[in-house]
A and B are shown apart, each in its own frame.
Chain A
Amino acid sequence: MKIPESGTMEDGPNSAPHNGQLGPSGVGTSSSSVKVNNSDENNPRLQYSIPGILHFIQHEWARFEMERSQWEVERAELQARIAFLQGERKGQENLKNDLVRRIKMLEYALKQERAKYHKLKYGTELQQGDVKPPIFEDGIGGEPVDGESIFITNSNVNWRQGRQLLRQYLQEIGYTDTIIDVRSNRVRSLLGLNPAGTSEKEDQTGGSALNGGATGGTVGGTAGGSAVASSSPGDLSGNSKRLSETQGRRAPAKKVPPASLAEAMIMDTEAAVMANFDFLAQEGVGVEVDDEDDMSDEMEDNTDDDADDAASASNAATSKRNKIKAKNLRDDVDAETEEVLNEFSFLGSDTDDASHELRVQTDTTDWGFSGTSSGGVSRRSVIPAPVTGPAPAGIGAAGETAHLAGLAGLSSSDDEGVDGHLGLGELAQLTVNNEAEVSYDISVNKESFRKTWNAKYTLRSHFDGVRALAFHPVEPVLVTASEDCTLKLWNLQKTIPAKKSASLDVEPVYTFRGHTGPVLCLAMSSSGEQCFSGGLDGSLQCWNIPGSNIDPYDSYDPSVLSNSLLGHTDAVWGLSLHSQKLHLLSSSADGSVRLWNPQSKSPLLSVFTSESDGIPTSVDFVRDNLNQMVTSYNSAACILFDLETGQPVTRLETDKGVEDSVFGRQINRVISHPTLPLTITAHEDRHIRFYDNNTGKLAHAMVAHLDAVTCLAVDPNGLYLLSGSHDCSIRLWNLENKTCVQEITSHRKKFDESIFDVAFHPSKPFIASAGADALAKVFV
């Protein structure tokens, strides 16, 4: 970006060509062009013509205009960047203030407790000095670092979400308390913030008991309860004192007593922010625990082993407890933890001046990670890289790191020292987290599908097992069908605010009543206006789906149930809709598969039976050849029929393994690949099998679950397969290499059944599962 220092354009690179064309025409006509053409003075004088001059002036003007607009764009970009950075900093400040405030409150409570204890034990008031409730407004005054007032706002919501996300990530990769503790300790020591010796020395709470007159605590960094601490209280603002208290063991040991007040404050703030972020990292595990509880835990941890025997009795008790805790921690350093520590060794080996170096790198890119993370990756080359990934392993992993960091909202970009430290702390954490994930999800090869699905919505309202579900083609809306004889319509945008829970509860917007027995299957039309359901009593109902914004307690509209398709004489178990015209296939325990045109006066178009093959269990249109359908049977047969002639076209090869399987020969579900001539079947014998429609040959078979596979769904692009099983889990498969990308335990068992159906949203990133536990869940 070329921002001119003066009004002249001497070194504008664009000026040269013009001069060549027009010669030193500007001389005498415009002061600016005089200078522009300095370089041409050695040219022979040319004759000027009015058109030439005019042309030159126009040209120059156009050029200036263009450059001006470029600068404006650049300025706007920079302003946006500034705003972004300011917002980010503000967010961090708010977080810091919030945490500091909590700490103050807890500390106050602790002091009161201590006083109470002391009084109970010795019968005298504990001389703690002026124990007064923390005044939060202090937070505003105490901003020595930037001199800019920060407002205490309620915008912590974002941070909470960020933390939630981080927690989820940590949980998913199986982080334990121990590892997180060890890791954050390790990071801290790498940063030189917490050399082992320090923790022995400082103890701000012990200090407070000792100091008596002081509001409690030591001034940042000086060893516990020294004279320096007690001498300064009057001068320091309340806030910075409290800050110093909060940072406790994170205070760098090598810190000398601060030369000036301002310096002390800066150090305090720095350390406090560090402390806050460590707290974040540590908090990452206890999801169920309230924030307050977490805080108190943290406080306990902070009251570290204390060499100061003069501490009050209560304090002694605390530190004893913590000693035990610390011991347990050490004992818990198992193999896994050791591995984690090893991961860190690469950091330790060459980044003595890590904080500085990393900070510099951090500022170079948007995500602020490229240099570091790729460095990390190269050092970690022992870790298996994504197997089939098109991109070099290093790049993929680096991108992932940045991605993760971005998600967690932790991209650091400020050039203050504080942020540099933060950057490393979080970076180190995230890099390692990410690595764990890489080795876990080895099979994932595309960045876009590095996505990890998380349960987001829980659909509770059915009284009995949910047998089927279907998404609306475009809206975040779905219909569920249950053994409780009803179908329900759900709008995922209408959630109930839930406390304490990461997932949202949804209440149905409409209940379809018409079946008098359990509803077993469901299909949604490609317009999203109709759905069809089959029941245990052999009925087949057609419904007009009400708008998803209907009032759940509106008056009854009989036209929702448009008509019933009569013909089946036993339970209807399978439904499939043609993707272009409104034709419906149904399979029934009466042995027949029927083709319907629900809108016609005589809706039944044809009946397909194959008595020797048993009872049809599931049916689907062949998606790449809509003149065919594929039907699975409880005899392990699977047949492609021509819809016109009603004749079998291809009989899919029966796997030898099925013939004498102890699990039975039943095929529970058959689906057709959306674009390829591929049929996929879900078997009671725990297998998923893939068939080539053209040859009928078994293309691939795999044991997919720990129990019967009950349901299948292929994503709209045909790249991923979702399967559900009575082993209570759903699994996502990469269709290309048939590897499991993710497994989610989703539902509980009722009798020996667990999961009945799974689905992909046709156009939105939702997947869903339906279970015997009367719940449906939607994952994002």
Chain B
Amino acid sequence: MADVECRTERRNRPGTKTVEYYRWPEELFEEMDSTLAVQQYIQQLIRKDFTAIDEILKAPDSQDEGVWKYEHLRQFCMELNGIAVKLQNECHPESCTQMTATDQWIFLCAAHKTPKECPAIDYTRHTLDGAACLLNSNKYFPSRISIKESSVAKLGSVCRRVYRIFSHAYFHHRNLFDEFENETFLCRRFTEFVTKYNLMSKEILIVPIFEEVDTSGFIGHAAESEAYGRMEKLSEG
């Protein structure tokens, strides 16, 4: 659209075509003066290349780590809506009566006054809704510029809960998971994220996304995403 060129205003005006949406010149993080700069920056990186996980997770210098983690988790919960929409069509309470991944654990839904054995689809929705409420809570996260240490501590439990959505999809709706993962690289990014910031312990990261890669025997993050990409292509083919 013409206005993108003639003015540098970064706007999605009514009438913008899908392909033009957010298609504007990149903005340097240092030049973002908005209170939502971190979100802007993360989304800009994802739009640029969603497979470039390391770059996406690399905080700008002097960026407050609490805010960085918080904004990333917001972004994860937002993108997880995509998997929830897919699950709504496929994951029925009759077939998936409980939230499970492997048969080891049944996860209780923490969105209720007393934790409840919700069917997987309800668990998914409730967990995302609960995360939305918590991450937007004026009590715990009144500001998106600075975050209390006590609130940062809450991020870990949100991570653990939303991760179960990945694991359920992986173990029970593998096609759906693969399709979604291909489009987004979300589980990879999430796994890397919680590992990098020690938000979850390795034992409970049960979706074997690293193992598959590890067998291909490479070291170092730079090659990782490419390797994933290749893996996916191979499996598709």
Alpha-carbon separation in the docked complex, A573 to B125 (Å): 27
Q: Which of A507, A514, A684, A773 is B13 in contact with, Cβ under 8 Å?
A: A684
B window 1-54: CB within 8 A of A:
1-3, 6-7, 9-18, 21, 24, 27, 34-36, 39-40
Q: How large is the interface on A (under 10, 10 to 19, 20 to 34, 35 or more residues)?
A: 35 or more
Return the CB mask of B106-136 against A: 1 if under 8 Å, else 0: 0001011000001101100110111011011
Most buried by B among A556, A633, A634: A556
Given the interface pairs A536-B21, A749-B34, the reply to whether A666 lies near B15 with Cβ below 8 Å is yes
A649 to chain B, nearest CB (A): 22
When C-beta atoms are compared, the residue in chain A nearest to B37 turns out to be: A750
Instruction: Give every chain A residue within 8 A of B93 (Cβ-Cβ).
Output: 555-556
Taking a contact as CB atoms under 8 Å apart, the answer to whether A463 and B75 are in contact is: yes
Q: Does A562 contact B (CB under 8 A)?
A: no
Q: Which of A460, A684, A748 is B36 in contact with, Cβ under 8 Å?
A: A748
Q: Which of A461, A516, A751 is B136 in contact with, Cβ under 8 Å?
A: A461
Q: Does B146 contact A (CB under 8 A)?
A: no
Instruction: Give every chain B residue within 8 A of A537 (Cβ-Cβ).
Output: 18
Alpha-carbon separation in the docked complex, A469 to B74 (Å): 22
Instruction: Give every chain A residue within 8 A of B119 (Cβ-Cβ).
Output: 555-556
Q: Which of A484, A516, A664 is B85 in contact with, Cβ under 8 Å?
A: A516
Given the interface pairs A460-B136, A553-B111, A664-B7, the reply to whether A634 lies near B125 with Cβ below 8 Å is no
Q: Does B77 contact A (CB under 8 A)?
A: yes
When C-beta atoms are compared, the residue in chain A nearest to B76 turns out to be: A463
Instruction: Give every chain B residue within 8 A of A458 (Cβ-Cβ).
Output: 138
Given the interface pairs A570-B18, A589-B18, A664-B3, the reply to whether A752 lies near B10 with Cβ below 8 Å is yes
Taking a contact as CB atoms under 8 Å apart, the answer to whether B14 and A750 are in contact is: no
Taking a contact as CB atoms under 8 Å apart, the answer to whether A726 and B11 are in contact is: yes
Instruction: Give every chain A residue within 8 A of B129 (Cβ-Cβ).
Output: 508, 511, 552-553
Q: Does A218 contact B (CB under 8 A)?
A: no
Taking a contact as CB atoms under 8 Å apart, the answer to whether A668 and B13 are in contact is: yes
When C-beta atoms are compared, the residue in chain B nearest to A684 turns out to be: B13
Instruction: Give every chain A residue within 8 A of B207 (Cβ-Cβ).
Output: none
Q: Does B88 contact A (CB under 8 A)?
A: yes
Q: Does A486 contact B (CB under 8 A)?
A: yes
B176 to chain A, nearest CB (A): 13
Question: Which of A45-53, A432-440, A610-618 makes up part of the contact surface?
Answer: A610-618
When C-beta atoms are compared, the residue in chain A nearest to B71 turns out to be: A463
Q: Which of B10, B39, B85, B128 is A515 in contact with, Cβ under 8 Å?
A: B85
Taking a contact as CB atoms under 8 Å apart, the answer to whether B14 and A618 are in contact is: yes
Taking a contact as CB atoms under 8 Å apart, the answer to whether B125 and A556 are in contact is: yes
Taking a contact as CB atoms under 8 Å apart, the answer to whether B2 and A664 are in contact is: yes
Alpha-carbon separation in the docked complex, A59 to B16 (Å): 83
Given the interface pairs A498-B138, A513-B85, A556-B122, the reply to whether A751 lies near B11 with Cβ below 8 Å is yes
Q: How large is the interface on B (under 10, 10 to 19, 20 to 34, 35 or more residues)?
A: 35 or more
Q: Which of A461, A616, A750, A752 is B15 in contact with, Cβ under 8 Å?
A: A616
Return the CB mask of B140-158 against A: 1 if under 8 Å, else 0: 0000000000000000000
When C-beta atoms are compared, the residue in chain B nearest to A552 turns out to be: B129
Alpha-carbon separation in the docked complex, A696 to B92 (Å): 55
Taking a contact as CB atoms under 8 Å apart, the answer to whether B34 and A750 are in contact is: yes
When C-beta atoms are compared, the residue in chain B nearest to A573 turns out to be: B14
B window 182-208: CB within 8 A of A:
none
Given the interface pairs A485-B78, A773-B36, the reply to whether A571 lies near B21 with Cβ below 8 Å is yes
Instruction: Give every chain A residue within 8 A of B229 (Cβ-Cβ).
Output: none
When C-beta atoms are compared, the residue in chain A nearest to B32 turns out to be: A751
Q: Does A501 contact B (CB under 8 A)?
A: yes
Alpha-carbon separation in the docked complex, A752 to B31 (Å): 12
Alpha-carbon separation in the docked complex, A505 to B139 (Å): 10
Q: Does B81 contact A (CB under 8 A)?
A: yes
Q: Which of B12, B17, B81, B118 is A753 in contact with, Cβ under 8 Å?
A: B12
Taking a contact as CB atoms under 8 Å apart, the answer to whether A460 and B11 are in contact is: no
Alpha-carbon separation in the docked complex, A751 to B12 (Å): 10
Taking a contact as CB atoms under 8 Å apart, the answer to whether A553 and B40 are in contact is: no
Alpha-carbon separation in the docked complex, A239 to B153 (Å): 49
Instruction: Give every chain A residue within 8 A of B85 (Cβ-Cβ).
Output: 485, 513-516
Taking a contact as CB atoms under 8 Å apart, the answer to whether B118 and A555 are in contact is: yes
Q: Does A663 contact B (CB under 8 A)?
A: yes
Q: Does A518 contact B (CB under 8 A)?
A: yes
Alpha-carbon separation in the docked complex, A486 to B125 (Å): 12
Instruction: Give every chain B residue within 8 A of A587 (Cβ-Cβ).
Output: 15
Alpha-carbon separation in the docked complex, A72 to B79 (Å): 69
Most buried by B among A501, A587, A774: A774
B30 to chain A, nearest CB (A): 15
Q: Does A186 contact B (CB under 8 A)?
A: no
Taking a contact as CB atoms under 8 Å apart, the answer to whether A501 and B138 are in contact is: yes
Taking a contact as CB atoms under 8 Å apart, the answer to whether B34 and A748 are in contact is: yes
Taking a contact as CB atoms under 8 Å apart, the answer to whether A511 and B11 are in contact is: no
When C-beta atoms are compared, the residue in chain B nearest to A669 turns out to be: B14
A724 to chain B, nearest CB (A): 13
When C-beta atoms are compared, the residue in chain A nearest to B36 turns out to be: A750
Instruction: Give every chain A residue within 8 A of B16 (Cβ-Cβ).
Output: 571, 573, 589
Given the interface pairs A513-B125, A555-B118, A571-B16, the reply to whether A750 lies near B84 with Cβ below 8 Å is no
When C-beta atoms are compared, the residue in chain B nearest to A509 turns out to be: B129
Alpha-carbon separation in the docked complex, A688 to B113 (Å): 50
Give 6 closest A-B pairs by Cβ, nearest first: A463-B78, A617-B14, A751-B10, A460-B136, A617-B15, A615-B15
Instruction: Give A contacts to B, CB under 8 Å.
Output: 458, 460-464, 484-486, 496, 498, 501, 505, 507-508, 511, 513-518, 520, 536-538, 552-553, 555-556, 558, 570-571, 573-574, 587, 589, 614-618, 633-634, 662-664, 666, 668-669, 684, 708, 726, 748-753, 772-774
Instruction: Give B contacts to A, CB under 8 Å.
Output: 1-3, 6-7, 9-18, 21, 24, 27, 34-36, 39-40, 74-75, 77-78, 81-82, 84-85, 88, 93, 109, 111-112, 118-119, 121-122, 125-126, 128-130, 132-133, 135-138
